[in-house]
Structure 1
Amino acid sequence: MAQLRYWINTSLDGYIADDAGRFDWTEPDAELHAFFNDLERQVGTHLYGRRLYETMRYWETAHEQPDQTPVELDYARIWTAADKVVYSRTLTAVDTGRTELVRDLDADDVAARKASADRDLSIGGAGLAAVALRAGLVDEVGLVVHPVVVGGGTAALPPGVRLTLDLVEERRLTRGAVYLRYRVRHRT
């Protein structure tokens, strides 16, 4: 059975965006981007909330933009080859390939997707991930912690959720960032 992974960039104080919605402090250099590419190669399906999908759909046509670096072109290939499921009550259509629009995250549907997938799934968007974390669907949490304190904004992890985690990987990255990968211990 495939795993559902929640990988996220976060500030040291636990936010994915500051109070103004900015996350420019997470912009990767080539080495960090290559690290993200390697993580994304493991994923067959992305589960996105609307806002993250609207940010990520840039990669559908990134290869057409001038001055793309090899690592950016590689990411665009990885992203367009993966399936995407967008959860939104406001979108009426999606305009990227291999993309399905679903109104609400249903735990049984996600569990069925995991059971039938031959590659792992990732979930993105703090609100959507919060629903999946509360439902016990997430198998792995990966944090790229950046050396910045933003003082507030969108939390990487939802309040009121308790998880028992096992550290399975830690790695120093460029610009003082650190990658921490945890396996979620599911209650049995």
Structure 2
Amino acid sequence: MGRVIYWMNTSIDGYIEDPEGGLDFPEPTEDFRQAANDHVRRTAAFLFGRRLYEAMEKPWTQDLGKEGAPPLEREFAQLYKETPRYVFSDTLQTVPEGVTLVRREDAASTVTRLKQESDGTFQLGGPELATSLVDLIDEFWVYAFPVILGGGKPYLPVGKQLRLHLAEHRGFASGITFRRYVRS
């Protein structure tokens, strides 16, 4: 059976964006970029909410695939394009080839089916989507950047307590820390 991993980059105070909707996180170092590439290499599919999908799609399918980008970013762009992507949205009407559009009301049944049909890992992104699918999430991954935002959009606005166990923790040269939690 497949596993769903909810992965988002956050500030150390737990926000994925500031109160104005911006991201002003420090530039990650090569060791962080390599870790991201290694994870994406093992990802069966991306499961995105609309806003995260829109933030990811153009930079990784058009902008960074160009020759001038650093090698690890070009590698990520290639891995991203090769990985199936599902976007859960009721507002998008069309998506490009390689992307599957799913209505939000069908999110739980689609993710349940994907987990049953695969032994792979599915990378879930987007706090609202994660909240709606919280009972299907197997692991919670937090890459905390060394910045305090003081407010904004939280990592997971779930509204209920989840008991987790820290399964892995490591730091990167840039001061970014990684924490991998599994359900207790």
TM (normalized to structure 2)? 0.92
Residue type of the partner of 2:85?
K
C-alpha offsets along residues 56-108 of structure 1, whole Å, 9 cap, x if unaligned? 1121124543411110111011111111111111110012x321101114323
Residue type of the partner of 1:18?
D
CA drift at 1:29: 2.6
Residue type of the partner of 2:154?
A
Distance 1:181 1:28 in 2: 18
CA drift at 1:31: 2.3
Structure 2 counterpart SS, 1:162: coil
In the alignment, is the contact (CA less than 8 A) between 1:19 and 1:152 conserved in 2? Answer: yes
CA drift at 1:145: 1.1
Distance 2:2 2:158 in 1: 27
CA drift at 1:26: 5.0
Distance 1:161 1:67 in 2: 45
Pairs aligned (count): 182
TM (normalized to structure 1)? 0.91
Structure 2 counterpart SS, 1:151: coil
The residue aligned with 2:84 is 83
In the alignment, is the contact (CA less than 8 A) between 1:170 and 1:179 conserved in 2? Answer: yes
The residue aligned with 2:148 is 149
Aligned residue runs from structure 1 range 159-174, under 5 A:
159-174=158-173
CA drift at 1:10: 0.8
In the alignment, is the contact (CA less than 8 A) between 1:18 and 1:154 conserved in 2? Answer: yes
In the alignment, is the contact (CA less than 8 A) between 1:62 and 1:73 conserved in 2? Answer: no
% same residue: 36
In the alignment, is the contact (CA less than 8 A) between 2:3 and 2:119 conserved in 1? Answer: no
The residue aligned with 1:14 is 14
Residue type of the partner of 2:179?
L
Gaps of 5+ in 2: none
In the alignment, is the contact (CA less than 8 A) between 2:65 and 2:77 conserved in 1? Answer: no
Distance 2:84 2:26 in 1: 24
In the alignment, is the contact (CA less than 8 A) between 1:15 and 1:156 conserved in 2? Answer: yes
Taking a change above 3 Å as real, the CA distance of residues 32 and 118 of structure 1, as seen in their structure-2 partners, is: same
Gaps of 5+ in 1: none
In the alignment, is the contact (CA less than 8 A) between 1:9 and 1:26 conserved in 2? Answer: no
The residue aligned with 2:94 is 93
Residue type of the partner of 2:87?
V
What CA RMSD, in Å, does the superposition of the two structures yield over aligned residues? Answer: 1.5
